[in-house]
Amino acid sequence: MEKQLTGQGTPVSQTQGHCLRKEREERDWSQAEVARRVGVSTKTVKRWEGNTVAPHPYASRKLCTVFEKSKEELMLGKLTSESERTRAQCDVYPIASGGASLGSPTSERTRAQCDVYPSARSRRVGLLVLVLLIFTVSIASVLRIGALLLHAPSQPSTLRANVWHQIRREAAPTCQKERGVVWYVHIRGTSISCQRSGLLMQQISHFYAEVDLVQVNDRTYSQSTFRTHVQVTFPNPGDGMTFAALLVQTPTAVNAIGGYIFALNPAGGWQLQSVESATALAVVKEGNVPINPSQPSTLTVEVRNGMLHAAVNNQWVVASTDQLQPSPGAVGLMVERTGQSSSSPILFSNFELNQ
């Protein structure tokens, strides 16, 4: 159990995670119940309670509504406890000669708190020894690698992985009926209509709206090295619960589940999600970027060298280790509104796939 330092009887280890967990347990709710009420995944709630990340602005407002508390009362965004800040203070805390008091009640409390931590000097000495050890090992490794390279035979140059060749482009995805190109529409949750400016798609059940590009030129395509992007427009910019998304590396086999989803809402909130089931998604990483919801935003996903990279409007926001190699696999477009039977429509345009 974490040791708590106190000042005049008040706990000092209060954090966002502590407050969210306390409010949830007082209501006898599970993390899954909080996730359902806020409209996020259970994994996201666990990360909030574990002080890993702070909720984005929209989720913060939902938490305040669900728990009927202010942002300050829930300490949203406070990921570090007072005890951790006190530990930092100990590194610069002045010690009076002979152990004499420094006078003020505040300094006396800080001095008492510092007694539970290792001395700053001992930590610095240990850190210095560690740095010297790492430096020594690094120099030896560099010399060893240099000797190997000096005697290694030369290798022919190879094509850089980021030189892409376009294999498919559609101004209105799924609307250009061409021989050899197959789009699969998941009809259980999908409503689509072709517009002059693109494809309008909407979720109409608890299943997410989805269309997958299964074949190009009468054959499947690589899911280990590729780059894809699409422009999305939000006709209802006030609906922060509806996400437009690029789906990648989803298997095309019947009843197969999997893949990654890069999703964006009109408030600029993005998520990298892992597909767990037909109706369950796990948030791998999330964040916020500034966007103009009245203008098209470009979603990009690039997979190469065992890594997945994603960008919003050409600003790279996430890089993650890629463990999926579906064969065959596909990329697709999605509209999702978690926990709801319908969503606002999303306009998809200027879809492109490169290898």
pLDDT tens digits for 7-48?
344 344 589 999 999 999 999 999 999 999 988 899 999 999
pLDDT given for residue 296 in this prediction:
96
- For CATH 2.60.120.560, the residue range(s) in the chain are 166-354
User: How many other β-carbons are positioned within 10 Å of the β-carbon of residue 68?
Assistant: 8
In a 10 Å sphere around its CB, with 0-12 CB exposed, 13-18 middle and 19+ buried, how is residue 106 labelled?
exposed
The low-confidence residues of the chain, meaning pLDDT below 50, are 1-12, 88, 91-110, 112-113, 115-117, 151-160
Residues 232-246 as b/e (b if ≥16 CB within 10 A, e otherwise) read bbbeebebbbbbbbb
pTM of the model: 0.56
| The CATH homologous superfamily of the domain defined by 6-114 | lambda repressor-like DNA-binding domains (1.10.260.40)
- For CATH 1.10.260.40, the residue range(s) in the chain are 6-114
Cα separation, 87 vs 93, in Å, equals 10
- Give the tens place of pLDDT for each residue, 208-225: 899 999 999 999 888 889
Q: What single DSSP character describes residue 219?
A: B
Pairing of strands 209-215, 307-312: unpaired
331 within 8 A of 247, measured Cβ to Cβ: yes
Cα separation, 278 vs 257, in Å, equals 7
Give the CATH number of domain 166-354; options: 3.40.50.10170, 2.40.50.500, 2.60.120.560, 2.40.50.140.
2.60.120.560
Give the residue from 42, 58, 57 showing the smallest Cα distance to 283. Answer: 42
